[in-house]
Structure 1
């Protein structure tokens, strides 16, 4: 776990890999709860029997479920304790190259791509690559943007 308490610490980490999380298993309960929360009950996610004969041989996690895990996975690797508020500003890029079959294990590698000055403080661009155990192609590649406001 890395903790960043100053903008100088953050700037020094620009362009570096922060780390890789432990593996977590994506189970059907998590997928069903995400379907319930979002209203996305497409059968490839929630109908276990039908999905067995579908294109993936079983149910798959929603791409946006995988993406929604990015903040939590990041929190396993780093904490931002810089002065002032921290705001999710947006996402520059997101791709879902490979579906996550229910029962698969995933993990995330996080990189601080860029730290730039903005009038209110710093803007941090964070790269996330979520891989699937035993697969060559990742489940999700995303680039998020965080605003770190000065006190």
Structure 2
């Protein structure tokens, strides 16, 4: 098993572009138990994106929980310095190919796919792979989109 790694610091567009293709991670293990599921399902619909009030812990709910943790996990892997602020745009594409069992732990690895100057900022796309402890393959892969503003 690979140990968690400290966050990489990228200052400005050139240093972010230098990270393209580099795997960052993994993050520390995160629990997905009944307490985490209860707190997650207690959030309003604007956060849960239409999940039922008492969802069953299947692959979709586990992936939705993991994706909700994505922005925080991403900042534990890479910090973008030298910008006034950043915005998590969300996900371009999400592929759920397995389950995150209730009572398990998961972590994330991230690869910066692209970083491009757009107006007064930088548009960043990163491939996030979420893996359950003991699994051979990620249960969810997503393309996360962020915008950093000068």
TM-score range, shorter chain: 0.7 to 0.9
Q: Which runs of 5+ in 2 are unaligned?
A: 1-6, 46-51
CA contact (8 A) 1:131 1:139 kept: yes
Counterpart-to-counterpart distance in 1, 2:25 and 2:40: 27
1:4: which partner in 2?
A: 10
The structure-2 alpha-carbon separation of the partners of 1:35 and 1:41, relative to structure 1 and needing over 3 Å to count, comes to same
Q: What are structure 1's unaligned runs of at least 5 residues?
A: 46-55
**Following superposition, which runs of at least 4 residues in structure 1 exceed 6 angstroms of deviation?**
none
How far apart, CA to CA, are the structure 2 residues paired with 1:43 and 1:69?
18
Maintained 8 Å contact 2:121/2:149: yes
CA distance in 2, matches of 1:38, 1:79: 29
The equivalent residue for 1:50 is none
Give the Cα separation in 2 of the matches to 1:14 and 1:87. 19
Larger Rg: 1
What is the RMSD of the two structures over their aligned residues, measured on CA atoms? 2.1
User: 1:85 aligned to 2:91?
Assistant: no
Question: Number of residues paired by the alignment?
Answer: 138
